Amino acid sequence: MSEGSSLNVKLSAALASRDERWIRRRLPDPNTSSSGSPLIDFNSNDYLSLSSSQILRNRFLKKLSEAPDVLGSGGSRLLVNGRAHNALEARLSQFFRAEAALLFNSGFDANVGFFSCVPQPGDVVVYDEYIHASVHDGIRASRARDAHYAFSHNSMPSFRRLLNRIREERRGLEAGENSIFVAVESLYSMDGTFAPLEEIVSVLEEIFPRGNGYLVVDEAHATGIYGPEGRGRVAQLGLEGKVLARLHTFGKALAATGAVILTNTLIRDYLLNYARSLIYTTSLSFANIIAADCSFDLLTDGMAQTLANDLLDLSAYFTQYIRPHLVRIPPKLLSLPEHLRDDISLNHDPPSPIIPIMTSHPRPLSAYLLALGMNARPITWPTVPKGKDRVRVCLHAGNTREDVEKLAHGAIRWAQETLAEEERKDRRIEMNGKVFLESKL
């Protein structure tokens, strides 16, 4: 591609524009990424620290050495022998108390696969405004691409208003001739907030009493952490029978890769026939299947539950620890999000490993923490809405109380130094009857 070509010019201009707006994405410096670095990890989604578990590693290597197949799967699920894949699906449908389970290569592929094909002509998809990009991509490729609506994040009044409006506008829905799908995440990845699943189910059933309202729950960030044996929030709340499909991903707390959709046999069959992100791709390698299987061993033997309890205790400790230090700092510069501002014991939701530290200066704060040996990433628009920039703190079972105290002190010290600097810049100096800013002299 020559430098002067139109494509070169357009792509370069787009990247330069992102540079100017401070939103250009780049790969992290390999020396500052979580694995193998001396930095304290407040960044990865390895919530249970299983990626560095010697127990999981040993189990994986043993199973690998005994397995008949370990390397590539050789092709699409529809073409090659999927004995190991079938066995894992059978295990997972039993473990999660679901009628059927279907593996995908990733959570992204699973959401795209489901939402691109299950909604039929005349159907509607409704989603929380913070829903993951993969659901948007699925909807865009679906037959409901012109019939999708967002409700305000976790707002039941907004959800109710939207459903009522849609029912009034669409006779087919009221008559039960069409379906409405509701997509939520049980634990939101950027905010650490929990979907009010019980209320969502009850409003959906109330407004669509014919049973044509279907809830789809993405449990990517709750898998392994919540519910009995880490089976997720839907299981924790006993809502398995009220949810059409659940997505569990293996790449976060389970330290593997891949994902599973839990649903009924009809939808499983339909996905096998129509989900392009499943049909036209090489299925997970045998080694991937073995890795996921080993992680589920740790869920069933109780080890993960112990780690999850430690993790949630640490999360509650961190918010309690940092809260009093924040009172003298302007919230715009540094604050906890609204749902964590009060004492956690007053909040009926459990603690979450995802704690956004809201700040109008996410990059300088992240850089400051990095210099102190802590990796917590800045998150800005377009990943989060404008004005909601933050440093996203992810806690891990392997973090210690000393780690999170260091994090709290680092963030507070940064805020104090930033404030002092801003005050210095704003200091006005009077000379010869004129007022000057000290910083301009």
Ligand X SMILES: Cc1ncc(COP(=O)(O)O)c(C=O)c1O
Distance in Å, CB of 115 to ligand X, minimum: 11
Distance in Å, CB of 183 to ligand X, minimum: 10
Distance in Å, CB of 430 to ligand X, minimum: 54
Report d(CA 129, CA 110) in Å as an integer.
Answer: 19
Nearer to ligand X, 218 or 389 (CB): 218
Report d(CA 222, CA 185) in Å as an integer.
Answer: 9
Core vs surface per residue 123-159: b (16+ CB within 10 A) or e: bbbbbbebbbebbbbbbeebebeebbebbebbeeeeb
Nearer to ligand X, 132 or 268 (CB): 132
Nearer to ligand X, 326 or 384 (CB): 384
Around Cβ 416, how many Cβ atoms within 10 Å? 15
H helices within 22-74, ranges in order?
A: 54-66
Distance in Å, CB of 185 to ligand X, minimum: 5
Nearer to ligand X, 154 or 335 (CB): 154
List the structure tokens of 108.
């992204």
Q: N- to C-terminal Cα distance for the chain?
A: 49
Nearer to ligand X, 189 or 366 (CB): 189
Nearer to ligand X, 249 or 366 (CB): 249
Distance in Å, CB of 45 to ligand X, minimum: 7
Core vs surface per residue 191-208: b (16+ CB within 10 A) or e: bbbbbbbeebbebbeebb
Query: Footprint of ligand X on this chain (CB under 6 A)?
Result: 106-108, 111, 132, 134, 185, 189, 218, 220, 249, 251, 259
Distance in Å, CB of 381 to ligand X, minimum: 17
Taking CB atoms, the residue at the shortest distance from ligand X is 107
Distance in Å, CB of 150 to ligand X, minimum: 15
Nearer to ligand X, 277 or 319 (CB): 277
Give the distance from CA 122 to its chain's centroid.
29
What is the β-pairing status of strands 124-128 and 180-185? parallel
Around Cβ 392, how many Cβ atoms within 10 Å? 22
What is the β-pairing status of strands 245-249 and 213-218? parallel
